[in-house]
Structure 1
Amino acid sequence: MTSIPFVREFEFEYGRCDQLSPLVRRVVANNPGPFTYTGTGVYIIGRGEVAVIDPGPVIEDHVAALEAALEGERVTHVFVTHHHLDHSPMAHPLAQKHGAKVYGYGPQSVAPAGGEVRLEAGDDVGFKPDVEIRDGDTFSGPGWTVEALHTPGHTSNHVCYALKEENTLFAGDHVMAWSTSVISPPDGHMGDYLRELARIRDRDFDLLWPTHGPAVREPRAFIQAYIDHRMERERQILEQLNNGQDTIRDMVAVMYADIDKRLHPAAAHSVLSHMIHLVETGRAHCDGEPGLQSVFRLPQPA
Protein backbone atom coordinates (compact mmCIF):
# COMPACT_ATOMS: atom_id res chain seq x y z
CA MET A 1 0.00 0.00 0.00
CA THR A 2 1.00 3.63 -0.49
CA SER A 3 3.00 4.91 2.47
CA ILE A 4 1.29 7.76 4.33
CA PRO A 5 3.77 9.92 6.33
CA PHE A 6 1.90 9.52 9.60
CA VAL A 7 2.91 11.65 12.58
CA ARG A 8 2.16 10.07 15.96
CA GLU A 9 4.43 12.00 18.31
CA PHE A 10 2.28 14.46 20.20
CA GLU A 11 3.35 16.82 22.97
CA PHE A 12 0.45 17.58 25.30
CA GLU A 13 -0.84 17.22 28.84
CA TYR A 14 -4.44 16.39 29.74
CA GLY A 15 -6.33 19.45 30.90
CA ARG A 16 -3.54 21.89 30.05
CA CYS A 17 -4.42 24.79 27.76
CA ASP A 18 -1.70 25.12 25.11
CA GLN A 19 -1.21 28.22 22.97
CA LEU A 20 -0.74 26.85 19.44
CA SER A 21 -0.69 30.10 17.46
CA PRO A 22 -1.60 33.76 18.05
CA LEU A 23 -5.31 32.92 17.67
CA VAL A 24 -5.56 29.24 18.65
CA ARG A 25 -5.44 27.35 21.95
CA ARG A 26 -6.16 23.67 22.67
CA VAL A 27 -7.29 21.58 25.62
CA VAL A 28 -7.09 17.77 25.25
CA ALA A 29 -9.73 15.66 26.99
CA ASN A 30 -8.69 12.52 28.83
CA ASN A 31 -10.65 10.11 26.62
CA PRO A 32 -7.96 8.14 24.75
CA GLY A 33 -8.96 5.09 22.73
CA PRO A 34 -8.74 3.30 19.38
CA PHE A 35 -10.86 5.97 17.66
CA THR A 36 -9.74 9.04 19.62
CA TYR A 37 -5.98 8.34 19.79
CA THR A 38 -4.79 10.41 22.78
CA GLY A 39 -8.19 12.08 23.23
CA THR A 40 -10.37 14.88 21.90
CA GLY A 41 -8.54 18.12 21.16
CA VAL A 42 -10.83 21.09 21.86
CA TYR A 43 -9.84 24.26 20.01
CA ILE A 44 -10.43 27.78 21.31
CA ILE A 45 -10.22 30.59 18.75
CA GLY A 46 -9.58 34.20 19.69
CA ARG A 47 -9.42 36.10 22.97
CA GLY A 48 -12.16 37.66 25.01
CA GLU A 49 -15.05 36.68 22.74
CA VAL A 50 -14.10 33.25 21.47
CA ALA A 51 -15.27 30.29 19.42
CA VAL A 52 -14.87 26.68 20.54
CA ILE A 53 -14.63 23.74 18.11
CA ASP A 54 -15.64 20.20 19.15
CA PRO A 55 -16.00 20.66 22.93
CA GLY A 56 -15.78 16.90 23.40
CA PRO A 57 -17.21 14.59 26.08
CA VAL A 58 -18.91 15.51 29.34
CA ILE A 59 -16.18 14.33 31.72
CA GLU A 60 -15.78 16.09 35.07
CA ASP A 61 -12.05 16.79 34.75
CA HIS A 62 -12.46 17.93 31.14
CA VAL A 63 -15.33 20.27 32.02
CA ALA A 64 -13.18 21.81 34.76
CA ALA A 65 -10.21 22.20 32.39
CA LEU A 66 -12.35 24.00 29.81
CA GLU A 67 -13.78 26.29 32.48
CA ALA A 68 -10.26 27.19 33.60
CA ALA A 69 -9.09 27.82 30.03
CA LEU A 70 -12.09 30.07 29.35
CA GLU A 71 -12.02 31.99 32.63
CA GLY A 72 -12.85 35.66 32.06
CA GLU A 73 -13.91 35.04 28.45
CA ARG A 74 -17.25 34.63 26.70
CA VAL A 75 -17.92 31.86 24.21
CA THR A 76 -19.93 33.32 21.31
CA HIS A 77 -19.94 30.28 18.98
CA VAL A 78 -19.72 26.54 19.63
CA PHE A 79 -18.87 24.69 16.41
CA VAL A 80 -19.23 20.92 16.00
CA THR A 81 -17.61 18.98 13.15
CA HIS A 82 -19.96 15.97 13.40
CA HIS A 83 -22.24 13.96 15.67
CA HIS A 84 -19.91 11.41 17.30
CA LEU A 85 -19.76 11.06 21.08
CA ASP A 86 -16.14 12.15 21.31
CA HIS A 87 -16.94 15.48 19.62
CA SER A 88 -20.39 16.89 20.44
CA PRO A 89 -21.82 16.01 23.91
CA MET A 90 -20.29 19.02 25.70
CA ALA A 91 -21.49 21.46 23.01
CA HIS A 92 -24.89 22.38 24.44
CA PRO A 93 -23.85 22.56 28.11
CA LEU A 94 -20.97 24.87 27.16
CA ALA A 95 -23.16 27.03 24.92
CA GLN A 96 -25.88 27.33 27.55
CA LYS A 97 -23.40 28.45 30.18
CA HIS A 98 -22.17 31.28 27.94
CA GLY A 99 -25.43 32.21 26.26
CA ALA A 100 -24.09 31.03 22.91
CA LYS A 101 -25.50 28.84 20.16
CA VAL A 102 -24.28 25.50 18.80
CA TYR A 103 -23.46 25.39 15.09
CA GLY A 104 -23.33 22.23 12.97
CA TYR A 105 -24.53 20.81 9.68
CA GLY A 106 -27.58 19.04 11.03
CA PRO A 107 -28.58 15.37 11.27
CA GLN A 108 -26.76 12.72 9.30
CA SER A 109 -28.47 11.55 6.11
CA VAL A 110 -28.75 7.95 7.34
CA ALA A 111 -29.51 7.50 11.02
CA PRO A 112 -27.63 4.70 12.83
CA ALA A 113 -29.64 1.47 12.77
CA GLY A 114 -27.87 -0.21 15.69
CA GLY A 115 -26.25 -3.61 15.69
CA GLU A 116 -23.71 -2.68 13.03
CA VAL A 117 -19.99 -3.28 13.45
CA ARG A 118 -18.78 -0.50 15.72
CA LEU A 119 -16.20 1.37 13.69
CA GLU A 120 -16.33 4.64 15.56
CA ALA A 121 -16.59 6.10 19.03
CA GLY A 122 -20.41 6.08 18.86
CA ASP A 123 -23.17 8.34 17.55
CA ASP A 124 -24.48 11.23 19.63
CA VAL A 125 -28.00 10.41 18.47
CA GLY A 126 -29.61 13.21 20.47
CA PHE A 127 -27.36 15.92 19.07
CA LYS A 128 -28.99 18.71 17.11
CA PRO A 129 -27.36 22.09 16.46
CA ASP A 130 -29.15 25.31 17.31
CA VAL A 131 -28.09 26.69 13.94
CA GLU A 132 -27.79 24.45 10.87
CA ILE A 133 -24.92 25.77 8.80
CA ARG A 134 -24.11 25.20 5.15
CA ASP A 135 -20.97 25.08 3.04
CA GLY A 136 -19.37 28.50 2.73
CA ASP A 137 -21.10 30.11 5.71
CA THR A 138 -18.80 32.48 7.61
CA PHE A 139 -18.77 33.57 11.23
CA SER A 140 -16.64 36.17 12.98
CA GLY A 141 -15.50 37.58 16.28
CA PRO A 142 -12.84 40.06 17.43
CA GLY A 143 -9.86 39.35 15.16
CA TRP A 144 -11.08 36.02 13.78
CA THR A 145 -13.15 34.75 10.85
CA VAL A 146 -14.27 31.13 10.46
CA GLU A 147 -15.58 29.56 7.25
CA ALA A 148 -17.60 26.31 7.32
CA LEU A 149 -16.66 23.68 4.74
CA HIS A 150 -19.11 20.79 4.41
CA THR A 151 -16.90 17.72 3.98
CA PRO A 152 -19.08 14.59 3.81
CA GLY A 153 -17.37 11.21 3.74
CA HIS A 154 -16.48 10.19 7.28
CA THR A 155 -20.09 11.13 8.03
CA SER A 156 -22.63 12.81 5.78
CA ASN A 157 -22.79 15.84 8.08
CA HIS A 158 -19.08 16.36 8.70
CA VAL A 159 -17.89 19.99 8.63
CA CYS A 160 -14.36 21.37 8.70
CA TYR A 161 -13.73 24.96 9.80
CA ALA A 162 -11.21 27.30 8.18
CA LEU A 163 -9.61 30.12 10.18
CA LYS A 164 -9.02 32.73 7.50
CA GLU A 165 -6.53 34.89 9.43
CA GLU A 166 -4.07 31.99 9.76
CA ASN A 167 -4.97 29.95 6.64
CA THR A 168 -5.58 27.02 8.99
CA LEU A 169 -8.18 24.26 8.83
CA PHE A 170 -9.74 22.51 11.81
CA ALA A 171 -10.16 19.16 10.11
CA GLY A 172 -12.22 17.15 12.61
CA ASP A 173 -11.91 13.49 11.53
CA HIS A 174 -11.66 14.30 7.81
CA VAL A 175 -7.85 14.20 7.84
CA MET A 176 -5.73 13.04 10.79
CA ALA A 177 -1.95 12.95 11.14
CA TRP A 178 -1.88 9.68 13.10
CA SER A 179 -4.29 7.48 11.09
CA THR A 180 -6.60 7.21 8.12
CA SER A 181 -10.24 8.17 8.63
CA VAL A 182 -12.99 5.55 8.91
CA ILE A 183 -15.44 5.57 5.98
CA SER A 184 -18.28 3.21 6.86
CA PRO A 185 -21.55 2.94 4.90
CA PRO A 186 -24.37 3.77 4.94
CA ASP A 187 -23.65 7.23 6.36
CA GLY A 188 -20.00 7.27 5.30
CA HIS A 189 -19.46 7.60 1.55
CA MET A 190 -16.19 7.02 -0.29
CA GLY A 191 -17.05 9.05 -3.38
CA ASP A 192 -17.92 12.08 -1.27
CA TYR A 193 -14.81 11.57 0.82
CA LEU A 194 -12.41 11.46 -2.13
CA ARG A 195 -13.99 14.54 -3.68
CA GLU A 196 -13.72 16.50 -0.43
CA LEU A 197 -10.13 15.37 0.16
CA ALA A 198 -9.23 16.85 -3.23
CA ARG A 199 -11.07 20.08 -2.45
CA ILE A 200 -9.29 20.52 0.88
CA ARG A 201 -5.95 19.70 -0.75
CA ASP A 202 -6.50 22.35 -3.40
CA ARG A 203 -7.34 25.05 -0.86
CA ASP A 204 -3.62 25.00 0.07
CA PHE A 205 -3.98 25.49 3.79
CA ASP A 206 -0.77 26.10 5.70
CA LEU A 207 -1.77 23.80 8.56
CA LEU A 208 -4.45 21.31 9.56
CA TRP A 209 -5.52 20.81 13.18
CA PRO A 210 -7.41 17.48 13.49
CA THR A 211 -9.62 16.89 16.53
CA HIS A 212 -7.38 13.96 17.52
CA GLY A 213 -3.61 13.97 17.60
CA PRO A 214 -0.96 16.31 16.21
CA ALA A 215 -1.13 18.81 13.37
CA VAL A 216 -0.69 18.04 9.68
CA ARG A 217 2.10 20.46 8.75
CA GLU A 218 2.39 19.78 5.01
CA PRO A 219 -1.27 19.45 4.07
CA ARG A 220 -1.03 19.19 0.28
CA ALA A 221 1.49 16.34 0.23
CA PHE A 222 -0.15 14.58 3.17
CA ILE A 223 -3.65 14.69 1.67
CA GLN A 224 -2.32 13.48 -1.66
CA ALA A 225 -0.83 10.48 0.14
CA TYR A 226 -4.27 9.89 1.71
CA ILE A 227 -5.84 9.92 -1.77
CA ASP A 228 -3.12 7.69 -3.24
CA HIS A 229 -3.69 5.18 -0.43
CA ARG A 230 -7.40 4.96 -1.28
CA MET A 231 -6.69 4.65 -5.00
CA GLU A 232 -4.27 1.81 -4.38
CA ARG A 233 -6.88 0.04 -2.25
CA GLU A 234 -9.30 0.27 -5.17
CA ARG A 235 -6.68 -1.19 -7.50
CA GLN A 236 -6.24 -4.09 -5.07
CA ILE A 237 -9.99 -4.71 -5.01
CA LEU A 238 -10.23 -4.69 -8.80
CA GLU A 239 -7.32 -7.13 -8.90
CA GLN A 240 -9.19 -9.43 -6.51
CA LEU A 241 -12.25 -9.29 -8.75
CA ASN A 242 -10.11 -10.11 -11.76
CA ASN A 243 -8.71 -13.12 -9.84
CA GLY A 244 -12.18 -14.48 -9.12
CA GLN A 245 -12.72 -13.19 -5.57
CA ASP A 246 -16.25 -11.89 -6.08
CA THR A 247 -17.49 -11.33 -2.52
CA ILE A 248 -16.27 -8.92 0.12
CA ARG A 249 -15.67 -11.80 2.50
CA ASP A 250 -13.35 -13.49 -0.01
CA MET A 251 -11.53 -10.24 -0.76
CA VAL A 252 -10.95 -9.50 2.92
CA ALA A 253 -9.60 -13.02 3.53
CA VAL A 254 -6.91 -12.38 0.93
CA MET A 255 -6.23 -8.65 1.32
CA TYR A 256 -6.15 -8.71 5.13
CA ALA A 257 -4.66 -12.18 5.62
CA ASP A 258 -1.88 -10.77 7.82
CA ILE A 259 -4.11 -9.00 10.37
CA ASP A 260 -6.09 -10.35 13.33
CA LYS A 261 -9.27 -12.00 12.03
CA ARG A 262 -11.23 -10.20 14.73
CA LEU A 263 -10.60 -7.05 12.69
CA HIS A 264 -11.99 -8.56 9.49
CA PRO A 265 -15.57 -7.30 10.06
CA ALA A 266 -14.27 -3.73 10.24
CA ALA A 267 -12.12 -4.35 7.17
CA ALA A 268 -15.21 -5.63 5.36
CA HIS A 269 -16.99 -2.32 5.95
CA SER A 270 -14.00 -0.45 4.55
CA VAL A 271 -13.99 -2.65 1.45
CA LEU A 272 -17.75 -2.14 1.11
CA SER A 273 -17.26 1.63 1.01
CA HIS A 274 -14.85 1.15 -1.89
CA MET A 275 -17.17 -1.31 -3.64
CA ILE A 276 -20.06 1.15 -3.49
CA HIS A 277 -17.82 3.77 -5.11
CA LEU A 278 -16.64 1.32 -7.79
CA VAL A 279 -20.24 0.39 -8.62
CA GLU A 280 -21.30 4.04 -8.71
CA THR A 281 -18.48 4.84 -11.13
CA GLY A 282 -19.18 1.82 -13.37
CA ARG A 283 -15.95 -0.03 -12.62
CA ALA A 284 -17.77 -2.92 -10.93
CA HIS A 285 -21.28 -4.35 -11.03
CA CYS A 286 -23.60 -6.29 -8.75
CA ASP A 287 -27.28 -7.18 -8.66
CA GLY A 288 -29.23 -4.70 -6.55
CA GLU A 289 -27.69 -2.30 -4.06
CA PRO A 290 -24.09 -3.11 -3.07
CA GLY A 291 -23.91 -4.78 0.33
CA LEU A 292 -21.72 -7.02 2.44
CA GLN A 293 -23.37 -10.13 0.95
CA SER A 294 -23.36 -8.97 -2.68
CA VAL A 295 -21.62 -10.84 -5.47
CA PHE A 296 -19.57 -8.44 -7.57
CA ARG A 297 -18.21 -8.65 -11.12
CA LEU A 298 -16.16 -6.57 -13.49
CA PRO A 299 -17.85 -4.90 -16.48
CA GLN A 300 -17.90 -6.92 -19.66
CA PRO A 301 -15.45 -5.65 -22.32
CA ALA A 302 -17.15 -3.57 -25.03
Structure 2
Amino acid sequence: MSASSSSSPAPLVIGLGEAVWDLFPDSRRAGGAPGNVAYQVQQLGGRALVATRFGRDEAGQALADHLAGEGLDLSLVQWDEALPTGAVTVHLEDPAHPHYTIHAPAAWDNLEATPALLDAARRADAICFGTLAQRDSRSRETIHRVLAAAGPRCLVVYDINLRQTYYDREWIECSLAASKIAKLNHDEVAIIAPLLGLPARPADFARALLEGTAVEAVCVTRAEEGCLVVTPGETVDIPGERVDVVDAVGSGDAFSAAMIMSLCRGWSLEKAVRFANRVGALMATKPGATPRIAAEYAELWKTFGRS
Protein backbone atom coordinates (compact mmCIF):
# COMPACT_ATOMS: atom_id res chain seq x y z
CA MET A 1 0.00 0.00 0.00
CA SER A 2 1.10 3.51 -0.71
CA ALA A 3 -0.23 7.02 -0.89
CA SER A 4 1.12 9.79 -3.05
CA SER A 5 1.99 12.10 -0.18
CA SER A 6 2.69 10.12 2.96
CA SER A 7 4.59 13.10 4.40
CA SER A 8 1.89 15.65 3.56
CA PRO A 9 -0.01 17.08 6.53
CA ALA A 10 -3.15 17.38 4.43
CA PRO A 11 -3.72 14.54 1.95
CA LEU A 12 -6.26 15.07 -0.83
CA VAL A 13 -9.03 12.46 -0.59
CA ILE A 14 -11.99 11.98 -2.93
CA GLY A 15 -15.24 10.45 -1.72
CA LEU A 16 -16.57 9.04 -5.00
CA GLY A 17 -20.24 8.07 -5.35
CA GLU A 18 -23.36 8.79 -3.35
CA ALA A 19 -24.02 11.67 -0.98
CA VAL A 20 -27.58 11.67 0.31
CA TRP A 21 -30.00 12.72 2.97
CA ASP A 22 -30.34 10.04 5.66
CA LEU A 23 -33.99 10.17 6.73
CA PHE A 24 -34.42 9.46 10.45
CA PRO A 25 -37.80 9.34 12.21
CA ASP A 26 -37.29 12.84 13.60
CA SER A 27 -34.89 14.53 11.16
CA ARG A 28 -32.79 14.33 8.00
CA ARG A 29 -29.01 14.27 8.21
CA ALA A 30 -26.24 14.22 5.63
CA GLY A 31 -25.19 10.70 4.67
CA GLY A 32 -24.05 8.36 1.91
CA ALA A 33 -20.86 6.37 2.45
CA PRO A 34 -18.45 8.23 0.11
CA GLY A 35 -19.88 11.58 1.22
CA ASN A 36 -19.48 10.51 4.84
CA VAL A 37 -15.86 9.52 4.26
CA ALA A 38 -15.13 12.91 2.71
CA TYR A 39 -16.82 14.66 5.64
CA GLN A 40 -14.79 12.67 8.17
CA VAL A 41 -11.54 13.25 6.26
CA GLN A 42 -12.23 16.98 6.43
CA GLN A 43 -12.83 16.79 10.19
CA LEU A 44 -9.65 14.73 10.58
CA GLY A 45 -7.64 17.53 8.96
CA GLY A 46 -7.46 16.37 5.35
CA ARG A 47 -8.57 18.01 2.12
CA ALA A 48 -11.75 16.31 1.02
CA LEU A 49 -13.58 16.44 -2.30
CA VAL A 50 -17.14 15.11 -2.62
CA ALA A 51 -17.59 13.64 -6.11
CA THR A 52 -21.33 13.11 -6.43
CA ARG A 53 -24.45 14.42 -8.18
CA PHE A 54 -27.44 16.19 -6.64
CA GLY A 55 -30.87 16.85 -8.08
CA ARG A 56 -31.80 20.41 -8.94
CA ASP A 57 -34.31 20.40 -6.09
CA GLU A 58 -34.77 21.70 -2.55
CA ALA A 59 -33.11 18.62 -1.07
CA GLY A 60 -30.04 19.01 -3.28
CA GLN A 61 -29.60 22.71 -2.56
CA ALA A 62 -30.07 22.11 1.17
CA LEU A 63 -27.53 19.28 1.17
CA ALA A 64 -25.01 21.33 -0.78
CA ASP A 65 -25.49 24.29 1.56
CA HIS A 66 -25.06 22.04 4.58
CA LEU A 67 -21.87 20.40 3.33
CA ALA A 68 -20.37 23.70 2.19
CA GLY A 69 -21.17 25.10 5.62
CA GLU A 70 -19.13 22.27 7.13
CA GLY A 71 -16.14 23.33 5.02
CA LEU A 72 -16.29 20.66 2.32
CA ASP A 73 -15.07 21.38 -1.20
CA LEU A 74 -18.04 20.87 -3.53
CA SER A 75 -16.26 21.80 -6.76
CA LEU A 76 -16.83 18.23 -8.07
CA VAL A 77 -20.54 18.14 -7.26
CA GLN A 78 -22.71 17.80 -10.36
CA TRP A 79 -26.35 18.87 -10.77
CA ASP A 80 -29.09 16.87 -12.47
CA GLU A 81 -32.13 18.51 -14.00
CA ALA A 82 -34.29 15.36 -14.03
CA LEU A 83 -33.34 13.00 -11.20
CA PRO A 84 -33.90 13.79 -7.49
CA THR A 85 -31.27 14.13 -4.79
CA GLY A 86 -30.57 10.78 -3.17
CA ALA A 87 -32.36 9.76 0.02
CA VAL A 88 -32.05 6.82 2.41
CA THR A 89 -34.52 5.85 5.13
CA VAL A 90 -32.64 4.73 8.24
CA HIS A 91 -34.21 2.06 10.46
CA LEU A 92 -32.96 2.06 14.05
CA GLU A 93 -34.87 -0.75 15.72
CA ASP A 94 -31.39 -1.89 16.80
CA PRO A 95 -29.23 1.27 17.01
CA ALA A 96 -26.01 -0.75 17.00
CA HIS A 97 -27.00 -2.48 13.75
CA PRO A 98 -29.04 -0.05 11.62
CA HIS A 99 -30.50 -1.03 8.28
CA TYR A 100 -31.47 1.10 5.34
CA THR A 101 -33.97 1.58 2.54
CA ILE A 102 -32.24 3.13 -0.47
CA HIS A 103 -34.61 5.14 -2.65
CA ALA A 104 -34.27 5.02 -6.44
CA PRO A 105 -33.64 6.52 -8.85
CA ALA A 106 -31.30 9.26 -7.65
CA ALA A 107 -29.13 11.90 -9.26
CA TRP A 108 -25.94 10.07 -8.33
CA ASP A 109 -27.02 7.23 -10.63
CA ASN A 110 -26.12 9.64 -13.46
CA LEU A 111 -22.64 10.65 -12.25
CA GLU A 112 -20.49 11.79 -15.19
CA ALA A 113 -16.74 11.51 -15.77
CA THR A 114 -16.15 15.23 -16.26
CA PRO A 115 -12.68 16.61 -17.06
CA ALA A 116 -12.58 18.19 -13.59
CA LEU A 117 -13.31 14.84 -11.90
CA LEU A 118 -10.70 12.97 -13.94
CA ASP A 119 -8.11 15.67 -13.23
CA ALA A 120 -8.84 15.49 -9.50
CA ALA A 121 -8.35 11.72 -9.61
CA ARG A 122 -4.87 12.21 -11.09
CA ARG A 123 -3.97 14.50 -8.17
CA ALA A 124 -5.61 12.56 -5.36
CA ASP A 125 -3.70 10.88 -2.55
CA ALA A 126 -6.64 8.58 -1.89
CA ILE A 127 -10.04 7.71 -3.37
CA CYS A 128 -12.79 5.90 -1.50
CA PHE A 129 -15.69 4.36 -3.41
CA GLY A 130 -18.27 1.62 -2.92
CA THR A 131 -20.69 -0.76 -4.58
CA LEU A 132 -24.00 1.05 -4.17
CA ALA A 133 -23.15 3.90 -6.54
CA GLN A 134 -22.47 1.28 -9.24
CA ARG A 135 -26.11 0.14 -9.41
CA ASP A 136 -26.62 2.15 -12.64
CA SER A 137 -24.36 1.52 -15.63
CA ARG A 138 -23.80 5.26 -16.10
CA SER A 139 -22.35 5.88 -12.65
CA ARG A 140 -20.58 2.51 -12.69
CA GLU A 141 -18.73 3.41 -15.89
CA THR A 142 -17.83 6.81 -14.47
CA ILE A 143 -16.44 5.34 -11.26
CA HIS A 144 -14.13 2.99 -13.15
CA ARG A 145 -12.96 5.74 -15.51
CA VAL A 146 -12.06 7.81 -12.45
CA LEU A 147 -10.21 4.92 -10.81
CA ALA A 148 -8.29 4.28 -14.05
CA ALA A 149 -7.21 7.94 -14.06
CA ALA A 150 -5.79 7.76 -10.51
CA GLY A 151 -2.02 7.91 -10.14
CA PRO A 152 -0.03 4.78 -9.27
CA ARG A 153 0.57 5.94 -5.68
CA CYS A 154 -3.07 6.80 -5.02
CA LEU A 155 -4.53 4.79 -2.14
CA VAL A 156 -7.72 3.39 -3.67
CA VAL A 157 -10.07 2.06 -0.99
CA TYR A 158 -13.06 -0.06 -1.97
CA ASP A 159 -15.63 0.07 0.82
CA ILE A 160 -17.75 -2.80 -0.46
CA ASN A 161 -20.83 -1.53 1.40
CA LEU A 162 -23.58 -3.86 0.18
CA ARG A 163 -27.09 -2.42 0.29
CA GLN A 164 -30.33 -4.27 -0.54
CA THR A 165 -29.82 -6.06 -3.89
CA TYR A 166 -27.61 -3.37 -5.41
CA TYR A 167 -24.57 -5.53 -6.05
CA ASP A 168 -23.28 -7.98 -8.62
CA ARG A 169 -20.31 -10.35 -8.75
CA GLU A 170 -18.91 -8.68 -11.87
CA TRP A 171 -19.04 -5.21 -10.29
CA ILE A 172 -17.33 -6.49 -7.17
CA GLU A 173 -14.56 -8.27 -9.06
CA CYS A 174 -13.87 -5.23 -11.27
CA SER A 175 -13.77 -3.01 -8.20
CA LEU A 176 -11.36 -5.29 -6.37
CA ALA A 177 -9.09 -5.29 -9.43
CA ALA A 178 -8.89 -1.48 -9.24
CA SER A 179 -8.24 -1.23 -5.48
CA LYS A 180 -5.43 -1.43 -2.95
CA ILE A 181 -7.61 -1.87 0.13
CA ALA A 182 -10.89 -3.77 0.35
CA LYS A 183 -13.05 -2.97 3.38
CA LEU A 184 -16.25 -4.72 4.38
CA ASN A 185 -18.08 -5.78 7.51
CA HIS A 186 -18.55 -9.29 8.88
CA ASP A 187 -22.11 -9.52 7.57
CA GLU A 188 -20.88 -8.68 4.07
CA VAL A 189 -18.24 -11.40 4.28
CA ALA A 190 -21.06 -13.92 4.72
CA ILE A 191 -22.67 -12.64 1.50
CA ILE A 192 -19.60 -12.16 -0.66
CA ALA A 193 -17.71 -15.32 0.29
CA PRO A 194 -20.13 -17.71 -1.48
CA LEU A 195 -20.63 -15.19 -4.30
CA LEU A 196 -16.88 -15.30 -5.05
CA GLY A 197 -16.39 -18.94 -4.07
CA LEU A 198 -14.23 -18.07 -1.06
CA PRO A 199 -14.17 -19.41 2.54
CA ALA A 200 -16.58 -17.70 4.92
CA ARG A 201 -14.33 -17.48 8.00
CA PRO A 202 -13.14 -13.85 7.94
CA ALA A 203 -9.41 -14.54 8.29
CA ASP A 204 -9.51 -17.26 5.61
CA PHE A 205 -11.69 -15.07 3.41
CA ALA A 206 -9.20 -12.21 3.67
CA ARG A 207 -6.23 -14.41 2.78
CA ALA A 208 -8.06 -15.95 -0.17
CA LEU A 209 -9.05 -12.50 -1.43
CA LEU A 210 -5.43 -11.35 -1.22
CA GLU A 211 -4.28 -14.38 -3.17
CA GLY A 212 -6.91 -14.05 -5.87
CA THR A 213 -7.09 -10.29 -6.47
CA ALA A 214 -4.92 -7.18 -6.78
CA VAL A 215 -5.76 -5.83 -3.32
CA GLU A 216 -2.93 -5.37 -0.85
CA ALA A 217 -5.00 -5.35 2.34
CA VAL A 218 -8.39 -6.67 3.41
CA CYS A 219 -10.18 -5.03 6.32
CA VAL A 220 -13.15 -6.68 8.04
CA THR A 221 -14.98 -4.54 10.59
CA ARG A 222 -16.96 -6.39 13.25
CA ALA A 223 -19.00 -3.69 15.03
CA GLU A 224 -18.60 -4.10 18.79
CA GLU A 225 -16.07 -6.91 18.19
CA GLY A 226 -13.46 -4.61 16.62
CA CYS A 227 -11.76 -5.29 13.31
CA LEU A 228 -9.40 -7.58 11.42
CA VAL A 229 -6.93 -6.38 8.78
CA VAL A 230 -4.86 -8.82 6.75
CA THR A 231 -2.03 -8.12 4.30
CA PRO A 232 0.33 -10.63 2.67
CA GLY A 233 2.81 -10.16 5.51
CA GLU A 234 0.78 -8.97 8.50
CA THR A 235 -2.41 -9.65 10.44
CA VAL A 236 -3.84 -7.01 12.77
CA ASP A 237 -6.71 -8.15 15.00
CA ILE A 238 -8.09 -5.37 17.21
CA PRO A 239 -10.80 -5.97 19.84
CA GLY A 240 -13.84 -3.72 20.09
CA GLU A 241 -14.07 -0.58 22.19
CA ARG A 242 -16.70 -0.46 24.93
CA VAL A 243 -18.87 2.58 24.30
CA ASP A 244 -22.44 3.69 24.86
CA VAL A 245 -23.90 3.38 21.38
CA VAL A 246 -26.29 6.10 20.23
CA ASP A 247 -26.39 4.76 16.69
CA ALA A 248 -23.80 3.11 14.46
CA VAL A 249 -24.75 5.03 11.32
CA GLY A 250 -21.54 6.18 9.63
CA SER A 251 -19.17 4.42 12.05
CA GLY A 252 -17.71 2.32 9.26
CA ASP A 253 -17.21 5.41 7.11
CA ALA A 254 -15.41 7.18 9.94
CA PHE A 255 -13.22 4.07 10.28
CA SER A 256 -12.38 4.27 6.56
CA ALA A 257 -11.54 7.96 6.74
CA ALA A 258 -9.31 7.48 9.77
CA MET A 259 -7.45 4.58 8.20
CA ILE A 260 -6.92 6.53 4.98
CA MET A 261 -5.65 9.59 6.83
CA SER A 262 -3.29 7.68 9.11
CA LEU A 263 -1.83 5.60 6.26
CA CYS A 264 -1.33 8.80 4.25
CA ARG A 265 0.58 10.13 7.24
CA GLY A 266 2.92 7.16 6.98
CA TRP A 267 1.80 5.34 10.12
CA SER A 268 2.34 1.62 10.48
CA LEU A 269 -0.59 -0.62 9.59
CA GLU A 270 -1.23 -1.63 13.19
CA LYS A 271 -1.17 1.96 14.46
CA ALA A 272 -3.45 3.08 11.63
CA VAL A 273 -5.94 0.30 12.34
CA ARG A 274 -5.96 1.01 16.08
CA PHE A 275 -6.63 4.66 15.39
CA ALA A 276 -9.40 3.83 12.91
CA ASN A 277 -10.97 1.43 15.40
CA ARG A 278 -11.02 4.17 18.05
CA VAL A 279 -12.54 6.68 15.61
CA GLY A 280 -15.26 4.23 14.56
CA ALA A 281 -16.14 3.58 18.19
CA LEU A 282 -16.29 7.30 18.90
CA MET A 283 -18.67 7.81 15.99
CA ALA A 284 -21.05 5.19 17.40
CA THR A 285 -21.56 7.43 20.45
CA LYS A 286 -22.88 10.27 18.24
CA PRO A 287 -26.18 10.63 16.36
CA GLY A 288 -26.07 10.32 12.58
CA ALA A 289 -23.15 9.99 10.19
CA THR A 290 -21.86 13.58 10.21
CA PRO A 291 -21.66 15.02 13.73
CA ARG A 292 -19.25 17.86 14.46
CA ILE A 293 -16.41 16.17 16.33
CA ALA A 294 -13.27 17.72 14.85
CA ALA A 295 -12.06 18.79 18.30
CA GLU A 296 -12.36 15.22 19.60
CA TYR A 297 -10.49 13.97 16.56
CA ALA A 298 -7.72 16.47 17.21
CA GLU A 299 -7.29 15.04 20.72
CA LEU A 300 -7.13 11.52 19.29
CA TRP A 301 -4.46 12.60 16.80
CA LYS A 302 -2.40 13.95 19.69
CA THR A 303 -2.85 10.80 21.74
CA PHE A 304 -1.89 8.44 18.94
CA GLY A 305 0.84 10.74 17.64
CA ARG A 306 2.65 10.32 20.94
CA SER A 307 2.43 6.52 20.85
Global fold match (TM > 0.5): no
Q: Which has the higher contact order (CA 8 A, sep 6+)?
A: 2
Structure 1 length-normalised TM: 0.32
